Structure 1
Amino acid sequence: MVDDYSFNKFCELLSDEAILKTSTAFGVAKQFQTYIADIKSQVLKELMNRTENQDVYLDFLINEIEKQEYIKDAGLRYIERWLKEYDTTVEDILERADFSEPIYAVLARHYNDMEPFSEEKDKAFLVQSSFLSYFCKLYADELIDFLKSKKPKPKKQEVIPPTNNKPFKDEYLIAFCKEISNERAIKENTFMQLYDYGITHYGPYLESEITENLLLLNKDKKEDYLNYVLDKINKTPFASIPEDYIDKWLTKYKVDRNEFPNFKNQELNEVLETYYASEHITTYDKQHALLDIQIDFYCYAAMLEVKKIVTFIETKSGKQKETPLTVKQEKSKQLTVNQIVLLLQETGFFNHPNIENASKVKQSELISLLTGLNGKNIKTAIQKLDKKPSELGENYQKDNDKIERILDNLS
């Protein structure tokens, strides 16, 4: 490139996680627009001077953009909440730039100019973080699309259409499983953002996809397909966590599980809506506590979404009245994480000197190696062994009773 200044600055801006300390999300968008205009001119000038390897040159630029550390899937869902709240669109924000509109009070004004530790400042940070992620993807995609469009067109060859090995669609199945398996997204969003625009987003689409596939598949393939879907979603990391997974938080905030996720306790609601790295969260302990509860709620919500799809699939099974689905039959014989830990305790597993003296993390890792189950869920179950039965509820006692019956049946 004749002059690569704008391109280098564009790439730096994509990866600059601290840019909001010195600029605003709206300001960053304007910077992207300026850089892209210059980059396009420089690229066209470079291509005119090249007689060969134009595609290699363009691939190099595309690769440089794609290797930057921005959120590659930060689509419209990242900012849908704010667009609805402020009754606006991306086009209006970027093209009209009517600064009398309320959205600009949080999007184009630096949050450090706001009152410290105020609700206004926290909200501005959340809005700008969401829009920054969206703008990075938006302009990265725009530039990549431009570069791809300038590649020399290959000579026409006979195109052999790709073979689709699957006789059904699974786009939303893949998206659903991905969305309920990424608890690390809590480090970039609040739980409620993920719940509204991620965790619960793909369920209805997956149900429609399942219904459509069942209409298209041959009768003898339908049960196989349903079992395939069940197998996929039941293998997601949080599908089998226990119902009481968040009970310690429900007890702490004195709320009922049936209120999930919109609780009557406003303090808990604020915790679930607060970004852990907000300006007023000033200590590591507070940040860690926020992450801990929000990740737990993410895992619990993911489990609920799996249950919804399982229930939906059961209504679609032709064998529903005759025999349960194969996966469900196996599931009824499979012990839960709690039951496995209780069985190991009853059989003396934890009395082995090396295991007894190990930390609960090490114990859970060992059991995870044996069972293939999620280590964090196992650790939670191990911690329950130290609690009184009265603290654990009716379901835990039922697990105890089941283990006793299993052991009694051996004699």
Structure 2
Amino acid sequence: MRVCNIFPQFRSLAGGERLGIKITNLLSARGYKVILLTLSMNPECEKELTKGVEVIKFAPFLDRVRNHYWKVFLEHLFVYWLAKLIPEDSDVCLFHKSSSLPALFYFKRFRKAKVPSFYFCYEPPRFLYDLKEETLIRLGIWGRFIQPFYPLLRYLDKKFAQDSDLILAFSEFMRREIERIYLRPVKMIGPLGVDLKGAKEESKGGEKILLTVNRLHPRKRIDILISALPSIIEEYPKIKVLIVGSGPEEMNLKRLVQELGLTEKVNFLGYVADEDLPNFYFLADIYIHLAKNEPFGLSVLEALAFGIPVISVKEGGPGELIKEGETGLFCEPNEKDLAKKTIYLLREEGERLKMGKKASSLVREKFRWEDFIDRLSSLFPDKE
């Protein structure tokens, strides 16, 4: 069976890109002939693909575009062309992320394709909905120009989504959000899986490590973690923060670290390949997650798998992954409450270790990639 994956652009090896690559690799491992159509692919992402996956890049020059908003604009402008590249003998098409919707619309309406087409909705385009005001402010003068077009953009987004045969969601939180916006049934395909190779449950001694693995973007709210650190250090001077990831907020976060005199306490590690991530999970005592309405929270799941208790905001998908008081703690998105919960887990070592063991055990039982791919492939048409 030939499966065509349409993923508009691999800008960096962040959560969505990692998930798209993982699904592609798993389908290939199951024996499907997988074609990956994309406008451009960051070299870091391409390294993660397994052999046997055919990759077609239509606009690789987009890798050289540095401005985030220009990159998004060009992505939506060129994505129609991906629909023209979909092989006619495809048995099923998987459209990933909201920016693939114009390609889905063109594929169904203009090519008159009868191929079953599923829309993997990681999340509706947040710049059109819950992050509208924030986006317009960040765009400055361009925001005032674009604002009158918002009703049209929302209409097109909802219109294009209706052309999919099925919309798929990874968490109950996101399923409800998608149904609220698109006003149609959504199939819950989650939960996702997690790679458990090398996972261990014992605690590490010596210096205490706080870890976060995220794209460095304002909505990840990593600035709250940095701002909470002085209060934590007052109680536990021997502590360090490891920040894995890169993104547009990196310079602002580094500036904040310097202003607070925390350069010896906070390490920015940049991009880390998937195969090397376990090295940092092994080091961590507590994982911190503060992102606003995260669709699922793959890094949270990975931390739990490695026996690390998680302190997280009770928003989005992570709210479904963490059991309060058993595998982690919820906190308000402010530095005071984060510091309070972190100090508690550092002080109560027995409780922290107990949470870590419980987390690892639950993840091993419930979150398997094999089960996820079974659920996905069961939706594919029977091949005679």
Query: Which structure shows the bigger proportion of residues in strand conformation?
Result: 2
Larger radius of gyration: 1
Q: Aligning the two structures, in what range does the TM-score lie when normalised by the shorter sequence? A: under 0.3
Instruction: Give me the TM-score of the superposition, normalised by structure 2.
Output: 0.24
Higher helix share: 1
Give the structure-1-normalised TM-score.
0.23
